[in-house]
Amino acid sequence: MLFEVSDLCVEYRSLDEISRAVNGVSLWVASGEVVGIVGESGCGKSTLALALLGLTRRNARITAGSVRLAGTDLTSQTDKQLRQFRGRRIGLITQNARSSLNPTVRIGKQIATVYATHTGASRADAKKAAIAALRLVGINDPERRYEAYPHELSGGMAQRAVIAMATVCRPDVVVADEATSRLDVTIQAQILDDLQHAVQEVGSSLVLITQDLGVIANYADRLYVMNAGEIVETAPTARLFEAPGHPASVSLLESQLEESGAEFRLRGLPVDGRNLPEGCWLQARCPFADDKAGCRTVHPELSRAGEEHQVRCHRTSVVIGRAAELTR
């Protein structure tokens, strides 16, 4: 089962201005794979997450590209058709678990409802499936927890309930957008383990969208680095940590590794989606920018920098060389 995004573009309209949030993003996830999408805040990853399920906000539109799940293009489906996919074939877990749960309905019922809606199962069967889902995500005593209201659960429990809800129908793809960033460290590891376990059991693909390098270093097989709405680098996890080829990747690594300085940090603020310059969009912020390499005139394309390693930069070889100092 292949999940493939091709040249996806999402724009925001606000009071006559158009802001390009996602610009020609292409990525793919194979069945059973865990893929990580990282990038600084404002790079467009959350917009991307929503766009994958066709859930972008009112003032945003998908203007080009496709999102294919086993051949079907989700972007060409109506909202009614998409509802068949959401929850059943593709699931989303967001950062704030509590806002995904209806505070007036018991969690067991919420999960069972999702299951029943998509499979037409009987109440009894749906309840069984919900209990199984709760157990799968590491909730002890799921029969009792089935009856709990969201406010009776701790933050970690609530997040687990949301994961259960997203995986109960055994979707082909699960998208987790900063699913654990607000949780305590002891809970985070447990939940990620449970999520990985649930996903492996079911045979789904997992897309982890996060800024936390610890999470992706420990759970992702391949990585995509986003910046200014574009994929600027993609590589297997180990390779990216060893030899990052894009300044944005280096910047991210540097800010999270202990005992490092600010040498390779991207300066200033994220690029304004309303005013994208000629040439590389990072030129004003990049410590490696160089006129002679065409940084200010030619917008770089993704080019090969190793086995399964692609980088969107004119100065890749320099970056890899300099970054080696950073990553030992």
Partner 1 sequence: MALAEPLPTGEEQQGPPIADREVILGYPTLRSHILHKVKRETLPKVGLLIVAATIFLAIFGPIIAPFNTTAATNLVNKAPSAAHWFGTDASGLDIFSRVIAAPRIDVSIALLATALALIVGSAIGLFATFYGGWLGALAIRATDTLQAFPALILAIIVVVLTGHGIGNIIVVIAVLNMPLYARLMRSEVLRMRDRAFVEAARASGLSDLSIAWRQVLPNATGAVVAQMSVTIGWAVLATAGLSFLGAGVLPPTPEWGSMISSGSSGIILGQWWPSVFPGIAMALTVFGFAVVADTIQTALGREG
Partner 2 sequence: MTASPPAAGPPTKGNPTSQAPVLEVRNLSKQFAIRNSRKLVHACDDVSLTLYRGQTLGLIGESGSGKTTVGRCVLRLIDPTSGSISLDSQDITKAGKKELQRLRRHMQIVFQEPAESFNPVLTVGSQIELSLKVFSGLSQAARRRRVNDLLDRVGVPSVAAGLLPGALPAGVLQKCSIARALASEPRLLVLDEPTSALAPEAEADVLGLLSKLQQDDGLAYLFISHDLSLVRSFCDFVAVMYLGQIVELGQKADVYTSPRHPYTQALLAAVLHPDPRQRLTRQGRGAELTGEIPSPIDLPTGCYLASRCKYVTGRCTAERQELIQIDASTVVRCWRAGDLPATEKRPE
Can you give the binding site for partner 2, defined by CB under 8 A? 40-42, 154-155, 184-190, 192-193, 197, 211-215, 217-218, 237-238, 241, 251-259, 262, 265-266, 269
- Tell me the C-alpha distance between 13 and 42, whole Å: 16
- Tell me the C-alpha distance between 160 and 112, whole Å: 15
221 close to 236: Cβ distance less than 8 angstroms: yes
DSSP secondary structure code for residue 265 in this structure: P
The residue among 32 and 287 lying less far from partner 1, judged by its C-beta, is 287
Of the candidates 205, 225, 227, 203, the residue with the CA atom closest to the CA atom of residue 216: 225
* 246-265 residues near partner 1, rule: CB under 8 A: 261-265
276 binds partner 1 (CB under 8 A): no
CB of 15 to partner 1, least distance (A): 6
CB of 277 to partner 1, least distance (A): 11
DSSP secondary structure code for residue 70 in this structure: T
Pick from partner 1, partner 2, none: which does 18 bind, CB < 5 to 8 A by kind? none
Pick from partner 1, partner 2, none: which does 287 bind, CB < 5 to 8 A by kind? partner 1
Residues in contact with 77: Cβ distance below 8 Å, sequence separation at least 6, in sequence order: 54, 85
How far from 281 is each of 9, 22, 220, 228, 236, CA to CA, in Å?
16, 13, 27, 7, 25
Pick from partner 1, partner 2, none: which does 155 bind, CB < 5 to 8 A by kind? partner 2
The residue among 184 and 278 lying less far from partner 2, judged by its C-beta, is 184
Judged by the rule CB under 8 A, the positions of this chain that interact with partner 1 are 14-15, 261-265, 267-269, 272, 284, 287-291, 318, 321-322
